Amino acid sequence: MDSSSLLYRAAREGKVATLRELLQQDTLILDRPFLINNNSFSETPLHVAAMLGHVDFVKEIISHKPELAKELDMWHSTPLHLAVANDHLETVKLLLSIIDHELLCVAWDEEGRNPLHLAAMRGRLDVLRELLKVAPEAAQVNLKGRSSGTILHICVRHNQFEAMKLLVDVIDDYQFVNAKDNYGMTVLHLAVANKQIETVKYLLTNSKIEVNAVNSNMFTALDILAQSQRSEKDFDIVESLRSYGASRTIDQPLSIKRPIIQAAKASLKIPHDHVHQIRKNQEDNSKGTSNPEYYWLAKKRESLMIVASLIATMAFQAGISPPGGLWEDNGSENIPHSAGESIISYYGNIYPYHAYLVTNTIGFAGSLSIILLLVTGLPFCRKFLMWILTIILWVTVTAMTITYLIAIVVTAPRHDFHSTPCHVITFLLIGWIIVMHVTMLLQAIHIVVKLFKWLRNLIIKRRE
């Protein structure tokens, strides 16, 4: 086995004695390219020992050739990168004890990350504390290349809350916490987009974060939340943001919005018409969605869609399959009919059948109307329009109730009609009338209260 292979094996196993023997035999062994089986490797024995955490071996190499700490492997990583990534605290301390350790802390690997970035990304808190002691300025170095943003962006992307807390506590700087990535996103934008409630609350409470900062699309954190898919976490985030003065761009005063738009146009070279269209789209598509009332309306909208779809399915099925079924063949001269016609339309049941068709059609048309209005994307997050949809739903449900009653009347045997069917119809009618009257009474009270408040506010404004 040649000397390079022995050196590699010693580094892998952390055998300091073997290293010393090899150095006695060849004092220049650490200066030569690292060869294994005649294949050249860019990593040095120090890379191998640092990656595996062999502190004594690392110390021995540094004592003979400290310049190896600056060497890069095939991934452009220094030995410090590898020790940090594998959470070898003692090895990290040893590497930071050499001269020019500040340069090691700001060195980028192939992915554009320095050792502090790696420590934050992997949640190596003890290592991160040690790095911050000797080179806190390295934490303010941005990612390089394809990556973007700061070390705080890394913490949010990799859900490293404790690492982010440590960094904010050590570097309590306005520019640091409000730095943006290539898309103009602050860490607050990212935390809101990822629904990290704990991170959002911490940033608002313990840092100098700007709650109304805008990204490249001129979206604030609340705008980002409104654009994302809603979840149960959203209400808590909205409450937290609102309590610290957060607002949406469309809600901000003109004196604030104008410089924002001008700055965006100047930095991003966005045409004026396009900026105006962005503002208009925000107002049209999501006005009012940043307050808690929006989520109540959104849930009610989803409930209406589900109920309307179910009613449409029932009404369609009732229309093509009426009570009594359909004739399967053509009739004779005594009972003229055609295959596919309704059976109950004969034998003196023509008027109940017509009533059945009318009420079922009203229910079907009403449910389709609700579905159509909801799918068109009209601004049905307004309470007034939502009430209109609710009224349509009342009419639809009432029509389907009458359809059900007619079906019972038509299909019930004559000798049994005044017993079970009659009782079912009576109780159903009474129950339905009570429900409708209570609902209408509650709605009437609500409208009267709203009208009273509106008149009171109008009188107060006029007096002022």
pLDDT at 338 over 50: yes
What's the DSSP call for residue 342?
Answer: B
Give, in order, the Cα–Cα distances in Å from 101 to each of 31, 96, 135, 166, 197.
Answer: 21, 5, 8, 21, 37
Distance (Å, whole) CA 256 – CA 309: 44
pLDDT of 266 reads 43
pLDDT of 257 reads 47
Helix (H) / strand (E) element for 4: namely helix 3-13
pLDDT of 34 reads 64
pLDDT of 37 reads 47
Q: What is the mean pLDDT of the chain?
A: 80
The backbone torsions φ and ψ at residue 281, rounded to the nearest 5 degrees and listed phi first, read -65, -40
Which of 66-75, 124-133, 279-288, 362-371 has the lowest average pLDDT?
279-288
Which of 37-41, 111-115, 147-151 has the lowest average pLDDT?
37-41
pLDDT at 7 over 80: yes
What residues form DSSP beta bridges with 41? 34
pLDDT at 193 over 70: yes
What percent of the chain stands above pLDDT 70? Answer: 76
Confidence of residue 180 (pLDDT cuts 50, 70, 90): very high
Distance (Å, whole) CA 50 – CA 84: 9
pLDDT mean over 225-249: 79
More confident residue, 380 or 43: 43
Distance (Å, whole) CA 328 – CA 343: 10
Give, in order, the Cα–Cα distances in Å from 121 to each of 84, 164, 194, 314, 376.
Answer: 11, 10, 16, 54, 44
Burial 281-297 (b: 16+ CB within 10 A, else e): ebeeebbbbbeeebbeb
Quote the pTM value. Answer: 0.56
pLDDT of 200 reads 94
pLDDT mean over 238-253: 78
Of 249, 238, 243, 164, nearest in space to 213 by CA: 249
What percent of the chain stands above pLDDT 90? Answer: 37
Confidence of residue 246 (pLDDT cuts 50, 70, 90): confident
pLDDT of 248 reads 81
> 45-49, 97-101, 293-297, 450-454 — which one is most confidently predicted on average?
45-49
pLDDT of 272 reads 45
pLDDT of 278 reads 42
pLDDT mean over 48-67: 94
pLDDT at 402 over 90: no
Confidence of residue 163 (pLDDT cuts 50, 70, 90): very high
pLDDT of 357 reads 85
pLDDT mean over 79-107: 93
pLDDT of 275 reads 42
Of 231, 232, 219, 162, nearest in space to 190 by CA: 219
Per-residue pLDDT of 275-301, as tens digits, reads 444 444 444 444 444 444 555 556 667
Confidence of residue 345 (pLDDT cuts 50, 70, 90): low
Please give the full DSSP string across 82-113, using - where no structure is assigned. HHHHTT-HHHHHHHTTSTTHHHHHH---TTS-
pLDDT at 73 over 60: yes
Other CB atoms within 10 Å distance of the CB of residue 384: 7
pLDDT mean over 247-270: 51
pLDDT mean over 187-208: 93
pLDDT of 378 reads 55
Confidence of residue 175 (pLDDT cuts 50, 70, 90): very high
Distance (Å, whole) CA 221 – CA 247: 8
